[in-house]
Amino acid sequence: MVRLIGFLVGLGFVGVVLWSFLWGVVSYIEEPPVPTVEHEFHLSPKQVSWSFDGPLGKFDRAQLQRGFQVYKEVCSACHSLRLVSFRDLADLGYSEPEIKAIAEQWVVEQPSINPETGEPATRKSIASDRFPSPFANEVAARAANAGALPPDLSLITKARHDGSNYVHSLITGYRPQPAELLKEFPDAKTPDGLHFNPYFANLNLAMAPPLTGDGQVTYADGTKSTTDQMARDIAAFLTWTAEPKLENRKRTGVAVVGFLIILTVLAFLSYKNIWAGKKH
């Protein structure tokens, strides 16, 4: 009896799944999905070769320092980096005095009031501080950016699919709307105050192009700062902020795989030795 009930329940479940599938097929045939402008013109990120690709990949410290310079001089005016401390920059090759000098370029608000002026007290950042937000709060951030909230960049490359390539493509992807887009979707004109970018999910982005041309940043190491170079450098830097232990994780993975290979070989040799001369 129990088997019969179980069989009937399973049969009913299969029937419901089959019915749902057939109903979906019929609905798709009768009312095919209407193509949208996002589906037609959204582009996947361009694929770039990175030094940290692959199981043996490593960060290029010089590139990370250039990327930090791009963040400091371009991105930090709008975007926070709240999960990164100044002292973390030691991983990029900066010395303790250099980190101290970098931290002092940022000012943070103290949770106290200056008794002489009644204004919030401020101080220079120290190495143990995290990068402060460029805005006092979300309201101030939206007010300064036409209602849009600039995202924190600490984990942006993990929060977006194919993160490193996405950041590079987005920064270099600004362009005028294609004529064929407006011809096929006349109502999809980019609204005033937004910027067309085919690598963004809905094609229209509140952020203006952050990189306005070659030479916008003068690199300390003398590297030529083309728009593409700056985009690559900031994408690499933001990959590091999201995965600062990437190299350690890869080294651990390689060691574990090597151990498992050796263990497998030893186990096989032990098996051959134990069963040598035995009749099956």
As a three-state string, the secondary structure of the chain is CHHHHHHHHHHHHHHHHHHHHHHHHHHHHHCCCCCCHHHHHCCCCCCCCCCCCCCCCCCCHHHHHHHHHHHHHCHHHCCCCCCCEHHHHHHHCCCHHHHHHHHCCCEEEEEEECCCCCCEEEEECCCCCECCCCCCCHHHHHHHCCCCCCCCCCCHHHHCCCHHHHHHHHHHCCCCCCHHHHHHCHHHCCCCCCEECCCCCCCEECCCCCCCCCCCCCCCCCCCCCHHHHHHHHHHHHHHHHCCCHHHHHHHHHHHHHHHHHHHHHHHHHHHHHHCCCCC
User: Do residues 66 and 138 touch, judged by C-beta distance below 8 A?
Assistant: no
Tens of pLDDT along 33-72?
666 777 888 999 999 999 999 999 999 999 999 999 999 9
pLDDT of residue 5: 80
User: 270 — phi, psi (to 5°)?
Assistant: -65, -40
Q: Would you tell me the crossing angle of helices 227-242 and 61-73 to the nearest 10 degrees?
A: 100
- Closest residue by Cα to residue 37 from 186, 173, 221, 148: 186
Longest CA–CA separation in the chain, Å: 95
> What's the CATH class of domain 37-84+151-249?
mainly alpha
Tens of pLDDT along 87-128?
999 999 999 999 999 999 998 766 666 677 777 777 888 999
Annotated binding site: 75, 78-79, 207
Q: Where are the domains of the chain?
A: 37-84+151-249
Q: Amino acid identity, residue 133?
A: S
Annotated binding site for heme c: 75, 78-79, 207
- Tell me the pLDDT band of 249, cut-offs 50, 70 and 90: very high
Tens of pLDDT along 226-241?
999 999 999 999 999 9
Across residues 143-166, what is the average pLDDT?
Answer: 94
pTM: 0.83
Burial of 84 (0-12, 13-18, 19+ CB in 10 A): buried
